[in-house]
Amino acid sequence: MKSLSSGVRKPAYGSGAAARKAVAVLLALLLTAAAAAAQVQERITIAALGDSLTQGYGLPPEDGFVPQLQAWLNANGHPEVEVINAGVSGDTTAGGLSRIGWTLSDEVDAVIVALGGNDVLRGLDPAASRANLDGILSAIGERGVPALVAGMQAPGNYGPDYKREFDAMFPELAEAHGAILYPFFLQGLTGEDGGSLAQVRELMQGDGIHPNAQGVAQIVRDIGPYVARLVDRAQS
């Protein structure tokens, strides 16, 4: 007499374990893909809009402001950030205003505005420079991305009125547009103790206007925490 169970096929030994293993592998792959997608979504692109100080005039490419800032961000907990060099040697605030539209591509999540040095070297009317910077910050605001304004300072040879008007436009415009203010692009050259003129000269190229690689490194160390704040705003 045949057993009642003789016609029922039993599952092969270990098939349940194999199925569980396949599900675990699938879940692991899905989690890995989700993590990779999240990393892509969180990537932040910063455009550094500026002049020769941003562009890296007179320096090997790796020693310029943008590559050194990129390295600083990577070393200080922001590997997801990419900094784009939007610096043009000799550019003024008017030049920056003329190209802010195409600088603000879809991939840009934040902007560093570091213009004004050539305006003051040429003795341009601070009112015109202010209007240009206002236009740049307005365009950035319309795109809904955060900005950092790196200020400049006029020398005293243009007179106290010129210097007062020129120097004041950076903090005033930053406040008006809700931007982060870095008071003076070159302030990192003097260090915490103010630095002597001889010390500053050691950080400059032969033209006395542009920092050398060591000077850029000091600038980046000083402005870096401000840029990190900009990254936080872009991610929020």
Residues 205/213, Cβ–Cβ less than 8 Å: no
Catalytic one of 51, 52, 177, 222? 52
User: 196 an active-site residue?
Assistant: no
User: 207 an active-site residue?
Assistant: yes
pLDDT at 38 over 50: no
Return left, alpha or beta for 14; rule: phi > 0 is left, psi -120 to 50 is alpha, else beta: left
Structural domain boundaries in the chain: 44-235
CA-nearest of 104, 99, 89, 93 to 59 is 89
Q: Which residue type sits at 19?
A: A
Catalytic one of 167, 177, 210, 222? 210
Q: In whole angstroms, what separates CA 47 from the centre of its chain?
A: 6
End-to-end, the C-alpha distance of the chain in Å comes to 76
User: 52 an active-site residue?
Assistant: yes
Across 119-139, b (16+ Cβ under 10 Å) vs e yields bbeeebebeebbebbbbbbeb
| Fold entry, domain 44-235 | Rossmann fold (3.40.50)
205 three-class SS:
coil
Q: Could you tell me the pTM of the whole model? A: 0.81
- Per-residue pLDDT tens digits for 178-212: 999 999 999 999 865 556 667 889 999 999 999 99
- Per-residue pLDDT tens digits for 129-177: 999 999 999 999 999 999 999 999 999 999 999 999 999 999 999 999 9
Catalytic one of 6, 106, 207, 236? 207
209: enclosing H helix or E strand: none
